[in-house]
């Protein structure tokens, strides 16, 4: 699915989560957004870090989310490629199927 | 897919596995059901433990299976939420996509 | 090392972490303790869940920590054994070295 | 999807990856094919090892790929079953959903 | 520690485990030894598979155990090297510290 | 152990690995160093990415290595803290024991 549908789906599911979530889960989600805020490291670099972490842990949805954010932060193709190289090297060939999908999603993001 | 289709699919695939399975795989499957039987810990608590384990290891099918069993064992929304909080905390934000799907599946289970 | 030394070491290292930690890391540590508080699920059950999660993710220090808490919450040998069975089944033989150390630590805890 | 479509999809996505890939990613992909070449261990055994590794790490696409290669190398049902037993034992019940899909894919491969 | 001390330590800890273990844990341990028995795949190949699985899952004790068994089954240096290459490729650079220790343990095994 | 002893140990073990390594393992090690070279992303940022990846995958030796490189690349305490926050958030509380050791190692690095 495209980036827009992906984000709509996430928002719909987040609403569902918040119907069940108590204070701890809500705080966790809130904290999750805070660590990517501008600091001594830029938002762009932090999103690339989130991407590398998601790739070595092999979570497609997490990868897609960080790719959307990377695109918003004007990450270039070459910056993306260098970050992916690190993820591939650290995580091994088991990450390849996720990296394939990542570049497809990235291509779609650039066309939108 | 709904819970009923999910269980049918699993049963169909299990049959296929058993066409190939030798004694060791069969014993493993058998043993797998035994650890969730009533003991000094209740079946309900054991299913919640299986759920937490499946969430931190991030296996959607395993999560769905344990949610079905949790539903049968009359786990309440709040009990589920507290177990999920632990999984989220231990496993980190990488578990979030699985937790989203878990609450959606849980909502479907309750409607059936 | 025994349980007492283990906790002293952790406290010393936590102090060190807090020398570096900004607000987000501090909030995370704070939230981490909250999810194990008494709720509709008891503290005992929650610690056993934390233990199962730590076993399938194979973190010795996390296992030791939850064993100390389980001991404080009066978990019995048989309750522990049933929780460990689930972790072993879900996580596979790769968890065995951690389970060996867990029972050794548990034995030490009971002797103290 | 069947084996043929699976391989076509992979080839299409690999092309996309190579549009972005610099020298390091290309070298990684090249090296990835080399470790499965005939050596003192046969190609058949190496593909079975790749399969076991993919199962314990729970990557469906990697499993499908190694099953295709195992089929080409004339792995028998019983050889497959013994390799799967090891993966199941080491990796635990969390691998079961992947093992179910693996046997389904294997059945399809044999029918083609 | 050398291979002999390693095995003594394991046996001592296994005894401790069996003091606590109920039927399910005992069955699991029993089943764990069965999957490595001679079949259509040789014991040697199965131990190498167990080794590859242990390397990509990064469990030092499991690696040491399978290295001892590989040594008993007369695995050659080159066979070991080819199996390790696959584990390194699949599992990525994160396996390197474990591979370093594996070759050190292997060297010790050969000297004994 | 301090950073100097850590690097000496690694070099000694790498020599041992290279006694056994064929061309593929050698190429892998070579490629592993290349992905951290200066590019459109700086060496500093790449080492921080390697650190985040090592933290979420929970490999103490890999963390220590990247901390040494981060120290050489003049990573500040606050940059480190922000990268660690991301790793902690993505990877969850299971990363905490590794983060504790990371800050201890970092403190030792700064004192040397």
For residue range B68-98, what is the model confidence (pLDDT) as tens digits? 999 999 999 999 999 999 999 999 999 999 9
Q: Please, what is the average pLDDT of chain E? A: 97
pLDDT tens digits along C68-108: 999 999 999 999 999 999 999 999 999 999 999 999 999 99
The answer to whether the CB atoms of A31 and C31 lie below 8 A apart is yes
CA distance C94 to C47: 22
* Confidence bin at E110 (pLDDT 50/70/90): very high
Range scoring the smallest mean pLDDT among E4-8, E89-93, F84-88, F102-106: E4-8
- Identify all chain C residues contacting F60, using CB atoms and an 8 Å cutoff: none
- Identify all chain C residues contacting A31, using CB atoms and an 8 Å cutoff: 24, 27-28, 31
pLDDT score recorded for residue F49: 98
Inter-CA distances, E67 with B13, B112, E44, Å: 35, 52, 11
Question: Which tokens sit at F55?
Answer: 């933290």
Question: Which tokens sit at A52?
Answer: 């590398």
Measure in Å the smallest separation between the Cα of D25 and chain F Cα atoms.
9
In sequence order, the 6+-apart residues with CB closer than 8 A to the CB of B103 are A13, A16, A17, A19, A20, B84
Size of interface C-F (CB pairs under 8 A): 50
Query: Stretch C1-25: mean pLDDT, rounded?
Result: 94
B26–chain E Cβ distance below 8 A for any pair: no
F99, F105, F109, F112 alpha-carbon torsion, rounded to 10°: 160
CA distance D78 to D84: 10
CA distance A49 to A36: 9
Work out the angle between the directed axes of helices C3-20 and C60-72 (0-180°, nearest 10): 120
Q: How many residues does chain D have?
A: 112
CA distance D21 to A99: 11
pLDDT over 70 (residue A54)? yes
The answer to whether the CB atoms of F94 and B91 lie below 8 A apart is yes
The answer to whether the CB atoms of B99 and A17 lie below 8 A apart is yes
The answer to whether the CB atoms of B53 and C52 lie below 8 A apart is yes
With H, G, I as helix, E, B as strand and everything else as coil, classify residue D97: helix
pLDDT score recorded for residue C1: 65
The rounded radius of gyration (Å) of the Cα atoms in chain E is 15
- Identify all chain D residues contacting A107, using CB atoms and an 8 Å cutoff: 16
pLDDT over 70 (residue F1)? no
ipTM: 0.97
| Residues A50, A66 contacting (CB under 8 angstroms) | yes
Q: Testing the interface with E: which of C92, C93, C102 to mutate, by most E Cβ within 10 A?
A: C93
| Residues C67, C106 contacting (CB under 8 angstroms) | yes
pLDDT over 70 (residue F3)? yes
- Identify all chain C residues contacting D89, using CB atoms and an 8 Å cutoff: 92-93
Measure in Å the smallest separation between the Cα of F54 and chain E Cα atoms.
7
pLDDT score recorded for residue C3: 86
pLDDT tens digits along B29-52: 999 999 999 999 999 999 999 999
Q: Give A48: exposed, middle or buried? Use CB within 10 Å, 0-12, 13-18, 19+.
A: buried
With H, G, I as helix, E, B as strand and everything else as coil, classify residue E58: coil
Which of B19, B24, B59 has its CB closest to that of D94? B59
pLDDT tens digits along E55-64: 999 999 999 9
Query: Stretch B94-107: mean pLDDT, rounded?
Result: 98
pLDDT score recorded for residue C2: 81
Measure in Å the smallest separation between the Cα of A4 and chain F Cα atoms.
23
Measure in Å the smallest separation between the Cα of A108 and chain F Cα atoms.
23
Q: Give A95: exposed, middle or buried? Use CB within 10 Å, 0-12, 13-18, 19+.
A: buried
Q: Testing the interface with A: which of B84, B92, B103 to mutate, by most A Cβ within 10 A?
A: B103
A52–chain D Cβ distance below 8 A for any pair: no
pLDDT tens digits along C14-73: 999 999 999 999 999 999 999 999 999 999 999 999 999 999 999 999 999 999 999 999
Query: Stretch F73-100: mean pLDDT, rounded?
Result: 98
Query: Stretch E39-55: mean pLDDT, rounded?
Result: 98
The answer to whether the CB atoms of E17 and C93 lie below 8 A apart is no
C22–chain F Cβ distance below 8 A for any pair: yes
Measure in Å the smallest separation between the Cα of B87 and chain C Cα atoms.
7
pLDDT over 90 (residue B112)? no
C74, C76, C79, C83 alpha-carbon torsion, rounded to 10°: 70
Angle in degrees, CA B51, B55, B58, rounded to 5: 135
Name the residue among D62, D59, D60, D76 with its Cα closest to residue D110.
D76
pLDDT score recorded for residue B1: 65
Size of interface B-D (CB pairs under 8 A): 50
The answer to whether the CB atoms of F103 and C10 lie below 8 A apart is no
pLDDT score recorded for residue C112: 82
pLDDT score recorded for residue A71: 98
Residue D57: HSE in the Cβ half-sphere, 13 Å Cα cutoff: 34
Angle in degrees, CA B85, B88, B90, rounded to 5: 105
Which of D24, D34, D35 has its CB closest to that of F34? D24
pLDDT over 80 (residue F73)? yes
* Confidence bin at F59 (pLDDT 50/70/90): very high
Question: Sign of the CA dihedral F85, F86, F87, F93?
Answer: positive
Measure in Å the smallest separation between the Cα of F108 and chain C Cα atoms.
12
The answer to whether the CB atoms of F28 and E81 lie below 8 A apart is no
Question: Sign of the CA dihedral F77, F83, F89, F95?
Answer: negative
* Confidence bin at D112 (pLDDT 50/70/90): confident
pLDDT score recorded for residue E1: 65
- Identify all chain B residues contacting D94, using CB atoms and an 8 Å cutoff: 53-54, 57, 59, 62
């Amino acid at each position: 699915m495209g980036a827009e549908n992906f984000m709509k789906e996430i928002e719909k599911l987040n609403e569902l989560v918040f119907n069940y979530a108590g204070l701890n889960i809500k705080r966790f989600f809130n904290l999750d957004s805070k660590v990517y805020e501008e600091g001594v490291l830029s938002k762009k670099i932090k999103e690339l870090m989130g991407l590398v972490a998601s790739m070595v842990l092999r979570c497609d949805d997490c990868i897609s989310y960080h790719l959307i954010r990377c695109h918003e932060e004007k990450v270039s193709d070459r910056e993306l490629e260098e970050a992916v190289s690190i993820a591939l090297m650290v995580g091994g060939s088991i990450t390849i199927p996720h990296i394939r999908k990542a570049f497809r999603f990235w291509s779609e993001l650039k066309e939108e």
